[in-house]
């Protein structure tokens, strides 16, 4: 069964959505606050998808997401919120969430989002160049078994998702890789976050921005990931 962790301080909303998810065959674990959610996941609790309220006391949704990512927990996060301004959606996607859904949306839409994300996670294999234990491209070295990246011998702080993107781009160095292909690698084929095409492009741009930042913390001159305007990115061989 697909396990969904549902975190919302609105008891009625939480119970109603939890029952609907359970009726659809999901294994639902519910929490009323962000702290309990973090404790559950950090202690080894499992989740295929995390449905997370934005506004909660003490530890709000974006704080929970940042805490999990710092701890290396890569569970896909969907924000459920009444905050519809673009600034909140952008913050969620840049923070590493896969989607941002208004609570007023109909249940079938939410269920489809959860289904696509869960299927995408199950379908994720190893990065494209994972035909050996190591992959090298110029100053880049990828340890494929442990999902670690080094640049010039120095470890680069990447999440698993970011590692997969680097592996895809570097494994096809010199080729143009489209936004859609990068997004499918991360979230599963045919899923779209946010508002249509621009939603998934925004998500990919945010991920690449974080990857560049991580490499530049090791090497301020890092410029291997080049943007191909309107299409995607390419890795420039050394």
The pLDDT tens digits for 215-228 are 999 999 999 999 98
* Cα 74 → chain centroid: 7
Q: Which range in 49-63, 73-87, 100-114, 196-210 is most confidently predicted, on average pLDDT? A: 49-63
Q: What is the pLDDT of residue 35?
A: 93
Question: From CA 210, how far away is CA 24, in angstroms rounded?
Answer: 36
CA angle 138, 169, 189 (to 5 degrees): 160
Average pLDDT on 42-60 reads 88
The terminus-to-terminus CA distance of the chain in angstroms comes to 45
* Amino acid 69: pLDDT: 84
Architecture in CATH for domain 3-123:
3-Layer(aba) Sandwich (3.40)
Closest to 164 (Cα-Cα) out of 191, 141, 137, 144: 144
User: Is residue 18 a contact partner of residue 63, using CB atoms and an 8 Å limit?
Assistant: no
Q: Which positions ≥6 away from 46 have C-beta within 8 Å?
A: 3
Extents of the domains making up the chain: 3-123, 134-235
Tell me the percentage of the chain whose pLDDT exceeds 90: 26
Buried b (16+ CB within 10 A) or exposed e, 138-153: ebbbbebeebebbbee
DSSP H or E run through 31: strand 27-31
Percentage of the residues of the chain whose pLDDT score is greater than 70: 81
Q: What is the pLDDT of residues 152-180, one digit of tens each?
A: 989 898 877 788 899 999 999 989 999 88
CATH fold of 134-235 reads Arc Repressor Mutant, subunit A (1.10.10)
Confidence of residue 1 (pLDDT cuts 50, 70, 90): confident
């Amino acid at each position: 069964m697909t396990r969904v962790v549902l975190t919302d301080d609105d008891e009625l909303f939480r119970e109603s959505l939890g029952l609907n998810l359970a009726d659809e065959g999901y294994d639902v674990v519910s929490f009323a606050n962000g702290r309990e959610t973090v404790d559950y996941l950090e202690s080894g609790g499992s989740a295929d998808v995390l449905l997370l309220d934005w506004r909660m006391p003490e530890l709000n949704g974006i704080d929970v997401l940042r805490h999990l990512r710092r701890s290396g927990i890569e569970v896909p996060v969907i924000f459920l919120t009444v905050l519809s301004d673009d600034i909140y959606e952008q913050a969620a996607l840049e923070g590493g969430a896969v989607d941002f859904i208004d609570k007023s949306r109909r249940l079938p839409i939410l269920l489809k989002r959860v289904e696509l994300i869960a299927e995408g996670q199950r379908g994720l294999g190893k990065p494209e160049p994972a035909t050996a234990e190591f992959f090298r491209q110029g100053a880049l070295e990828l340890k494929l078994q442990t999902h670690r990246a080094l640049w010039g011998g120095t470890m680069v702080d990447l999440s698993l998702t970011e590692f997969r993107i680097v592996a895809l781009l570097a494994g096809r160095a010199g080729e143009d890789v489209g936004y859609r292909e990068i997004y499918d690698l991360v979230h599963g084929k045919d899923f779209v976050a946010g508002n249509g095409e621009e939603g998934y492009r925004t998500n990919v741009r945010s991920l690449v921005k974080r990857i560049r930042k991580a490499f530049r913390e090791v090497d301020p001159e890092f410029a291997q990931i080049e943007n191909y305007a309107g299409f995607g990115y390419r890795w420039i061989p050394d």
